Amino acid sequence: MTTISPPSYEETLAEAKRLLAQPLTADEKIEFAKEAIKVLEDDEQVEQFEKDIENVGTAAIQIDQAFDRVNRGFKDMVDNRGRDFPELAGYKKEWESYKERWVKYLWDSRDVASEMSATLKRYDQVFLDLIENIKTDKDREDIIQELAQFSGEKHGTAAQMAINFRNLEMDVRHFGERFEAYLEQKKVELDQLATDLKVTIDKLQGQISTWNEKACFPSF
C-alpha cells in the first residue's frame, strides 16, 4: 500500500500563501491548520528525524576523534623527528588551528539549531493561529503581508555556518596536499606514522564535507 507523506515545511508555506490569496471558508482554514501540523504527528517522519540527529552526532564525534588522532600523530613526529625535520612543528601548529576552528564551529552550530527551531516555532504558534482566526478580508491581507516578510527573512547565522564548514573542509584538503608534497620533496620516509596521518587527513576532509551536508545548514 502506498503511503502518502505529509507536506514538507516548504510545501506548507507555499500552500499557506496560495490559500491566503483567496477567500477562505471556516472549513478550509481548519483543514489547512490540520495539514500544516501533520508532519509533526507522523511517527515515521519523527523517528527518521531522530535518527538523522543521532547520525549527525555520531559523525561529529568521529570527526573530533580524527582531529585528535592527527594532532597526536604530529606531536609524536615532532618529538621524535622534529630536530631533523623542523618544518614538522609548523605543520603541527597549523593543524592545531584547524582543530580549534572545528571545535568553535561545532559549538556555534548550536546557535544555528536554536535559530531554526525558533523560526519554525514562530510559524507554528503565530501564523497558524492567525490563519485559524481570519474573519475579514483585511485579516487575510495582513497575513499575506506577514507571510511574505516571513518567507523572505535571511538566516545569516545558518548561511555563515555552512560557509565556515566548507572553508574548513577546503583548508584541510589543501593542508593534506601540501603535507604530501613536503614528504615527497624530502624524499624520505619519515616512518609509517606519516603515511597513516596523510590517510587520516584525506578521510577527515571527506567526513567534514559529509557532516556539513547531513547537518543541513541552509545557504540562504
Sign of CA dihedral 157, 159, 160, 166: positive
Asked if residue 220 is part of any domain, the answer here is no
Residue 96, in any domain of the structure: yes
All three cell numbers of 171, joined, read 583548508
| pLDDT tens digits, 31-57 | 555 555 555 455 565 565 555 555 556
Residue 1: inside a domain: no
With respect to residue 31, please indicate whether it lies within any of the assigned structural domains.
Answer: yes
**SS3 of residue 218 by DSSP:** coil
Give the burial class of 161: count Cβ atoms within 10 A of its Cβ; 0-12 exposed, 13-18 middle, 19 or more buried. Answer: buried
Distance (Å, whole) CA 31 – CA 132: 10
Q: CA torsion 198→199→202→203, rounded to 10°?
A: -150
pLDDT at 19 over 90: no
**Comparing 161 with 20, which gets the higher pLDDT?**
161
Amino acid (one-letter) located at 78: V
Q: Assess if residue 2 is contained within a domain.
A: no
pLDDT of residue 96: 92
* Other Cβ atoms within 10 Å of 82 Cβ, number: 16
CB 131 within 8 A of CB 37: no
Residue 11: pLDDT above 60?
A: no
Does the structure show a pLDDT above 60 at 97?
yes
Residue where the block lists cell 625535520: 85
Q: What pLDDT sits at residue 4? A: 45
pLDDT digits (tens, 9 = 90+) for 161-215: 778 888 888 888 888 888 888 877 776 656 666 777 777 888 887 777 776 665 5
Domain that residue 58 falls in? 9-215
Residue 206 belongs to a domain? yes
Give the ranges where the chain is alpha helix by DSSP (H).
Answer: 9-20, 26-36, 38-41, 43-81, 87-122, 128-132, 137-151, 156-186, 192-215
Q: How many domains does the chain have?
A: 1
pLDDT digits (tens, 9 = 90+) for 100-156: 988 888 777 766 655 555 555 555 555 566 666 666 667 666 666 666 565 555 555
